[in-house]
Amino acid sequence: MKLYYTPNSPYARICRIVAAQAGLMARLELVAVKLRTTDSPVIPLSPMGRIPVLTDGELVLSEARHICAYLEEKGDGTPTVAPYGDWQAVAAEAETLAFLDAVIVWSREVRREADVQSGFLKEVADQQMRRELAHLNGTRTAPDGDPPLTFEALCLVAALGILDFYDLMPDWRETYPIVAEWYARYEAVPTVSETAPSAAAMNPLTR
């Protein structure tokens, strides 16, 4: 199996964490790629040129959630994605994935040249993030023991990683302390800390 990724992609990060936790790293080749280049090795596999992409024989699988479900099946079977039927779990997963998607939209905006950034879009994004963080702060509790590395939790972990990396909301830990406490438990997990976005691994999305 091969996983095409960029080092700072939060979607790929979730897949890398799930693969490692499922004990699959010996069977998984990680292929780092650049985005938005016509010679990207991902384009012949998937015309959109997006990552993460997982290949296994003839199979070319995109979308982090699908990849995690596949890795779960191939690995040690530790539950990762919410099964259809457990609709509360599916709903919770949809919410943290939406949060991650929104954080990514925001992070892309602030990486554009300052004079073309939309103040309106950033304001809307900030309000959206704060609504979700306030909701999470009122409903989460820090896990006892080893935190569960579900897709639902990892979407939130990956989103908060991006929030920190681009310093999008400097006050979030003080303003949403229960979320901060919850996140600290995850930051202590080796596969989470080892995959955190870093400037050294920077692979600019805009060129």
Paired sense of beta strands 2-5 and 53-56, if any: antiparallel
- Position 63 contacts ligand GSH (CB under 6 A): yes
In the range 8-37, which residues lie near ligand GSH by CB under 6 A?
9, 11, 35-36
Question: Which residue's beta carbon is nearest to the bound ligand GSH?
Answer: 50
Question: Could you tell me if 184 and 142 are in contact, meaning their C-beta atoms sit under 8 angstroms apart?
Answer: yes
Select the span of 44-52, 133-141, 162-170, 189-197 touching ligand GSH (CB under 6 A): 44-52
- Position 51 contacts ligand GSH (CB under 6 A): yes
Tallying the residues shown for the chain, one arrives at 207
In the range 64-83, which residues lie near ligand GSH by CB under 6 A?
64
Task: Identify which of residues 3 and 136 has a Cβ nearer to ligand GSH in the complex.
Answer: 3
Taking the C-alpha atoms of residue 94 and residue 98, their distance in angstroms, rounded to an integer, is 6
Select the span of 23-31, 45-53, 169-177, 188-196 touching ligand GSH (CB under 6 A): 45-53
Task: Identify which of residues 24 and 205 has a Cβ nearer to ligand GSH in the complex.
Answer: 205
Task: Identify which of residues 155 and 192 has a Cβ nearer to ligand GSH in the complex.
Answer: 155
- Number of residues lying near ligand GSH (CB under 6 A): 11
Task: Identify which of residues 50 and 140 has a Cβ nearer to ligand GSH in the complex.
Answer: 50
Task: Identify which of residues 7 and 181 has a Cβ nearer to ligand GSH in the complex.
Answer: 7
Interface with ligand GSH (CB under 6 A)? 9, 11, 35-36, 49-52, 63-64, 205
